[in-house]
Amino acid sequence: MKVTFIGLGIMGSRMAANLIKGGNEVLVWNRSPEKTEGLKQVGAKVAASIVAAVKDADVLITMLSSPEVIEKIALGKEGIILNAKKNSLWINTSTVNPSFVDKMAGKAKEVGLRYLDAPVSGSKGVAEKGELIFLVGGENKDLEEARPLLSVMGKSINHFGKVGGGSKMKMVINLVLAQSMLAFSEAVNLGVASGLDESSIINILSESPVVSPFLKLKIAKLESKNYDPEFSLQWAHKDLHLILQTAYENNLSLPVTAITKEIYGMARQEGKGEEDISAVYAYLLNKKFK
């Protein structure tokens, strides 16, 4: 099976590396060619163009930052859609909104390309250990073909029916993720403003049942003030935008999510976009919201 991986950022580079470790022959392509070097050293082959990357691939896996980037890479004369091998399988692991999934799956079907939407839950460390949770929408037979590859990159594969189901679940997960990080940050901010010791608040909260496993993973970052990205704040902001777009398309109001999006947007505007999502904590404490 010939496998191509496109998109070698924080997540994609580690996912591709695990495919190689699992004994797969992997061809990679990235918009920034320097990001292919590390994978080349562990056995990946590097394609010179998108056309070269996809024309012979049996399975194409993409992990890209946004719907806009996917459209740029997928559409056009030298894009995925017109150059992928007929009946090959495109597994899109990027976080995108369900209506965009429907659009891309439709365009893929027009040219005889099969499509799975398979976004992941988990950040850098989880991706590195091959313990991602896959949220999959698509045909059963396509999932079964993809399963050996997904199993190398993740610990759990969850099928949510037809194409789009995986992305619907990813919207739900990332809504909780972004809001829980913000709620924790505001709670600590309240305690500090009231005169309590910041470290004591964090330690007590981390021992309490109200704090999720995700937040416990962020405690070290908050204490060290080191916000090197595992999941960048700018992508949390992007995901909140997609969540609200999905809510609009379903005639649903999410007022708390709308406020959450704006706070992440303000933190991004203040230069924290490329830092970890937990940098919203530093933004709020520095602003001393009361």
- Token pair belonging to 48: 């010179």
Of 194, 162, 179, 198, the residue nearest 239 (C-alpha): 179
Active-site hit among 170, 218, 221, 272: 170
Alpha-carbon distance values, 221 to 167, 258, 263, 288, 289 (Å)? 28, 26, 20, 19, 21
Residue with tokens 């890209």: 64
Count of CB atoms within 10 A of residue 38's CB?
A: 14
- Token pair belonging to 74: 């997928």
β-strand partners of 89: 59, 114
Residue 64 amino acid letter: L
**155 assigned to active site:** no
Task: Report the C-alpha gap between 101 and 77 in whole angstroms.
Answer: 20
The answer to whether the beta carbons of residues 125 and 216 sit under 8 Å apart is no
- Token pair belonging to 205: 């909260």
H or E element in which residue 178 lies: helix 165-193
Local structure of 30: helix, strand or coil: coil
Q: Which residues are catalytic?
A: 170
